Amino acid sequence: MKYCKKCLTTDLRPNASFKAGVCIACSYTNSVQDDNSSLKLNILQRKIQQSRKKQRNKGAYDCIVGVSGGKDSTRQAHWVRDRLGLRPLIVCCAYPPKQMSEIGAKNLTNLMEMGFDVVVATPAPQTAAHLALESFKQFGNVCKSTEMSLFSTVPRLAIELGVNTIFWGENPALQVGDAAVEGFDEFDGNNLRRLNTLTAGGTDWLKEEVKSAYLAEHYLYPNEIEFEKKKINIFYLGPAWDDWSNDDNSVYASLQGLTLRPGEELETGDLSNASMLDEEFTNINMMLKYYKFGFGRATDSVNEQIRAGKLSRAEAIKIVETYDGVCSDRIINSYANYVGITINEFWNIANHWVNSEIFDIHDGKRPTKKFKVGINYES
């Protein structure tokens, strides 16, 4: 396992791309440091105008903003309405009641009360729970089907409603270094369909696991022909800000009444206490990601700060040593209950996905790591 020289990204990350020992996210930061953010806003606005000219929207809305009820949602919705001057329809792919957290429900309510029209789409709970277990068994990813549903619902509704401009917040290519989704430029989200979670393993497994074919629809990303027919364009808002980051978005959202989770770092492994507010199972996925690839959410979080010049690599290593891979037994228990397995069964499935080159595996228990953070490791 090799680390990026500048941050703590490892070469085990899916679609990782390194040039001369530096990851794409770090090289991007270096190349745009002098860019003018107001110029970027102009570029984005021009692109939106071009997109809207291509297709007259049938209804009252100019665009769809895809949200989750988390911290970025508030900022995206406000920015599209108030800075870009558009009439947004907010589309939220919500979780089944047993998965959705109380904080998530509160935050979604808060967003509605700010005066937005919101469409909430929720998958059938029994199907969702079954697919969450199959995602875990077949892909070692408890959120795979959830993410498929999240990313697919927004373009699916855009196509059905005839609203051709879609906004997402962050560009996964730049924020976490997923080269497969890199678009024409940093605003271009039309390659989102290549996101690892949507492509890995195809869709046949999902179609086989649902009781009726129509129940799969909720999870399937519309194909390129449907996108082309309706002239659908996806844009990322993140690059048009000079201060788009997890920390800035949390502060903004808190000021707007968002409920956070103070003091739960050692429960969730989340340093900001502001990610994954809408449900808790993503924390398990962050832990699994750590066991598979040798890095977790603390790594993603400190990498942003290293690139922003707020944290040294040495300080970052200490934080990652403490928080990467943290996820409490309570959360694991809650997931096991949701999908109908025991804790023992949970760890036996999980251990199947652990990278044994960098972790020691123990039957029915948590693995332990062999490597030291920030230092290239060979087993």
> What residues make contact with Zn ion under the rule CB under 5 A?
4, 6-7, 9, 23, 26
Q: At its nearest, how many Å lie between Zn ion and the CB of residue 22? A: 6
Minimum distance of Zn ion from residue 61's CB (angstroms) = 38
- Least Å from the CB of residue 307 to Zn ion: 7
Task: Give the Cα separation of 92 and 66 in Å (integer).
Answer: 6
Q: Which is nearer to Zn ion, 26 or 150 (CB)?
A: 26
Q: How far is CA 320 from the centre of its chain?
A: 20
Of the two residues 4 and 210, which places its CB atom closer to Zn ion in the complex? 4
> In Å, how far are 255, 300, 379 from 262, measured between CA atoms?
15, 19, 38
The total of other beta-carbon atoms located within 10 Å of residue 116's CB is 18
Q: Residue 261 corresponds to which tokens in the numbers above?
A: 């989770």
Cβ of residue 306: shortest distance to Zn ion, in angstroms?
8
Would you say 11 or 248 has its CB closer to Zn ion? 11
- Identity of the residue, 28 or 167, whose beta carbon is nearer to Zn ion in the bound complex: 28
- With 0-12 CB in 10 A as exposed, 13-18 as middle and 19+ as buried, what is 14? middle
Shorter beta-carbon distance to Zn ion: residue 16 or 89:
16
Virtual CA dihedral for 157, 231, 112, 72, nearest 10 degrees? 110
Strands (E), the chain: 18-19, 22-23, 63-67, 88-93, 117-121, 165-168, 233-236, 359-360, 368-369
Q: Using CA atoms, how far apart are residues 278 and 268, in angstroms rounded to an integer?
A: 13
Residue number, 9 or 141, with CB nearest to Zn ion? 9
Q: Which residue number, 2 or 106, has a Cβ lying nearer to Zn ion?
A: 2
Residue 172 CB, nearest distance to Zn ion (Å)? 15
For 116, 228, 236, the CA distances from 45, given in Å and listed in that order, are 21, 21, 12
- CA dist 149 and 128 (Å) reads 9
CB of 9 to Zn ion, least distance (A): 5
Q: How far is the CB of 3 from Zn ion (least distance, A)?
A: 8
In the complex with Zn ion, which residue's Cβ is closer, 9 or 171? 9
Report the candidate in 368, 23, 348 with the shortest Cα–Cα distance to residue 178: 23
CB of 293 to Zn ion, least distance (A): 14
Pick the closer one to Zn ion by CB: 134 or 186.
Answer: 186
Two structure tokens written together for 205 = 């497994």
Position 68: which residue type?
A: S
Minimum Å gap between C-beta 5 and Zn ion is 7
Strand partners, 368: 360
Collapsing DSSP to helix, strand or coil, 351 comes out as: helix
